[in-house]
Structure 1
Amino acid sequence: MKKTIIAVLVSGSVALTGCQTTNPYTGEAEYNKTSKYGGIGALTGAVIGALANGKDGALAGAAIGAAAGSGWGYYVDRQEDALREHLRGTGVRVVRNGDQLSLIMPGNITFNTDSYDIQAGFYRTLNSVGMVLREFDQTIIEVAGHTDSTGAHTYNMQLSDKRARSVASYLINQGVMANRVRPVGYGPDRPIASNSNSQGRAQNRRVEINLYAVEGVQYR
């Protein structure tokens, strides 16, 4: 049995080390995320299965573990690829942090100053976002409005909320189910850059779309 466990672990390790690719957007080396999740799941499942049922348990555990490990990760992989493809060159950043995806939409391409009416030139980009969100319909969508710290806090909170609701309403009108969409305004309370200079303030004025898993869903 020990030999079986070692063999599965070695083969799984080889699979993990062989999954390194170059990210076409950043030029950096990275591991294929789906293979990584599946490989880790396989290793874990193999060990547990082998301890319980010997050789056959190791093989069965590896298969089950691989499937479980790649579920949400694989779903995020595919959604990320689709978003990057459709949003390339639009000014919208697709950011992945672990298994969370975020779309960062700079304020200068979404709204005019002190306005919560979406710029007409941004409709096409939101149409692309809506198309992908309709296809990948097993996520919760947080539409978050953010401002810089200039002006009254109360005003900024209200403006960020109205901007979030404008984007959320547009996506719903594009066919995204309303029960998936949660608009929220954070005002100046969650800056991503310094508010002490114009460049930082420009970065803080933004709308983010954050995508989360739905509890209890079996992702494939």
Structure 2
Amino acid sequence: MKKLLVTLFVAGVVVFTGCTTTDPYTGEQRTARATQGALIGAAAGAVIGNVTGRRDRTKRAMIGAGIGALAGAAVGNYMDQQEAELRQQLEGTGVSVTRDGDNLILNMPGHVTFDVNRDEVKSEFYEVLNSVAIVLKKYDKTAVEVAGHTDSTGTVEHNMGLSQRRADSVARYLAGQGIQPVRIDTIGFGPHRPIADNSTVEGRALNRRVELTLIPLT
């Protein structure tokens, strides 16, 4: 991931060389805002577009660690059982469980998980993550993608960083509860994958979230 971003940065420097503006107050040259936005947008687009590759890499790492893969009809049954146990464990916690094909998505609202503009998991949320970890340890043939999301307020750069740090915090906590790190990948999407309208207070609240996508190893 770091190599990808470095490559993008270098490419951006080449493409946007000369795209500077003069500060009217200091007389200094600085990168134009449009150029900065384009560079940040390119990096964000690369993160989003590389999801499939990241998931495949995690699966290969799991197999390399000796975790056996599922096959055929066993996949659906395995995820059915895991879904049922997660729904039972998370009932009344504010965390929703959604089925997407053979994947499971746990939506953790930001106000439940983190204080405003902070990336430390709230202590009140530990019990919920403990419940998730219990199920994840039992069903160890699933990769765990931890994705951070923000609303569109603030700069893209800030939101990309915040979403990544929040995803990392959740991942560290789960690893601390005994989930094998080889199963976990983290990604920060910032404001780029909204699930609601960012022009409303309610919509922005829904967009501030951490999602765990549980992907069967096949």
Q: Which amino acid aligns with 1:87?
A: L
Q: Secondary structure at the match of 1:118?
A: coil
Match of 2:175 in 1: 172
Residue from 85, 96, 100 that aligns with 1:97: 100
Q: Which amino acid aligns with 2:217?
A: V
Match of 1:141 in 2: 144
Match of 1:121 in 2: 124
Match of 2:192 in 1: 189
Q: Does 1:70 align with 2:73?
A: yes
Give me the CA root mean square deviation: 0.9
Match of 1:9 in 2: none
**Contact 2:79/2:216 (<8 A) preserved:** no
User: How many residues align structurally?
Assistant: 148
Q: Which runs of 4+ in 1 moved over 3 A?
A: none
Q: Which amino acid aligns with 2:190?
A: G
Aligned equivalents of 2:110 and 2:203: distance in 1? Answer: 12
Query: C-alpha displacement at 1:151, in angstroms?
Result: 0.3
Q: Secondary structure at the match of 1:113?
A: coil
Residue from 134, 142, 153 that aligns with 2:156: 153
Aligned equivalents of 1:85 and 1:191: distance in 2? Answer: 27
Q: For residues 136-182 of structure 1, what are the alpha-carbon distances to aligned partners after superposition, in whole Å with 9 as ceiling and x for unaligned?
A: 00011000000000000000000000000000000000000000000
Aligned equivalents of 1:100 and 1:200: distance in 2? Answer: 25
Structure 2-normalised TM-score? 0.67
Aligned equivalents of 1:146 and 1:130: distance in 2? Answer: 21
Residue from 109, 112, 117 that aligns with 1:106: 109
Query: C-alpha displacement at 1:97, in angstroms?
Result: 1.4
Q: Which amino acid aligns with 1:180?
A: R
Structure 1 segments unaligned to the other structure (5+ residues): 1-67, 216-220
Structure 1-normalised TM-score? 0.66
Q: Which structure: larger Rg?
A: 1
Q: For residues 80-136 of structure 1, what are the alpha-carbon distances to aligned partners after superposition, in whole Å with 9 as ceiling and x for unaligned?
A: 001001000000000011211000000010000000011111000000001100000
Q: Secondary structure at the match of 2:166?
A: helix
Report which structure shows greater RCO (CA 8 Å, sep ≥6).
2
